[in-house]
Structure 1
């Protein structure tokens, strides 16, 4: 059976903002960690499990695209403040998390720093398109 071909439009957006000076391996690692937070915190963004023609089952993934942006350290700080002000679900990754190696230590590293002092290298947000666009104002699409 062929799936119906139609354009699906979403009224929400999943977006990742990365600091522009990260190395390639850091960009990939940070993106993976950040979007895992969106999936865990907003289960409605997860689609149905996948199956191939041989009935092999695969894990569910996001039901909509994830857009990746980059910006300066100041842009990350401003976007973080705007996301908090709009009460939009957000995950964060700080520079301190590059030296930890488990979830407990990651959470502890964030816990000891006030929100205005976090050394953000990335954040991910999920919410209404217009709110996410305003949060990421000035960011450019990742090359």
Structure 2
């Protein structure tokens, strides 16, 4: 049904609140990069209007650091849309500070705790090959 695939990968040993936090931030990055995935607003039977959500499914996978870094490398090689979240971002309090700690990361060895990947379904599948759905 969809030609594209959206996958979120979170570090398997994070606390639950951290996993939820990471995925929520990654989802905003995907929505920003692909505004066309947004469906129409929801309207209840009383006519009240609610915000719209993605019309495309998003799958959440888990991995260790090596798995995240491997998916990141493959995503770069395949020119997929990537939204990374690094561990140092947990210690910041605002977007500009996030950008600063991200810039300080070794780009070839990021301390990733989360990664969103979007692109052609077949290409995304190759980038996340071997990863398991989050339990």
TM superposition outliers: structure 1 runs of 4+ over 4 Å: none
2:48 counterpart of 1:56: yes
Aligned-pair Cα RMSD in Å: 0.9
Q: Is the 8 A contact 2:68 2:115 kept in 1?
A: yes
CA deviation after TM superposition for structure 1 residue 117, in Å: 2.6
Gaps of 5+ in 2: none
Which of these residues, 38, 43, 50, is aligned with residue 46 of structure 1? 38
Aligned residue number for residue 83 of structure 2? 91
* Shift, 1:51, TM fit: 1.0
Aligned residue among 57, 70, 74 for 1:65: 57
1:119 Cα shift? Answer: 0.4
Return 5+ residue gaps in structure 1 as ranges: 1-8
CA deviation after TM superposition for structure 1 residue 48, in Å: 1.2
Q: Which residue is 1:33 aligned to?
A: 25
The number of aligned residues is 135
> What's the secondary structure of 2:31's corresponding residue?
helix
Q: Distance in 2 between matches of 1:63 and 1:77?
A: 28
Name which of 126, 131, 141 aligns with 2:133. Answer: 141
User: 1:82-140 deviations in whole A, cap 9, x for unaligned?
Assistant: 11111111111100011001111111111122311310001001111111111111100
Task: Please tell me whether Structure 1 or Structure 2 has the larger radius of gyration of its CA atoms.
Answer: 1
Q: TM-score, normalised by structure 2?
A: 0.96
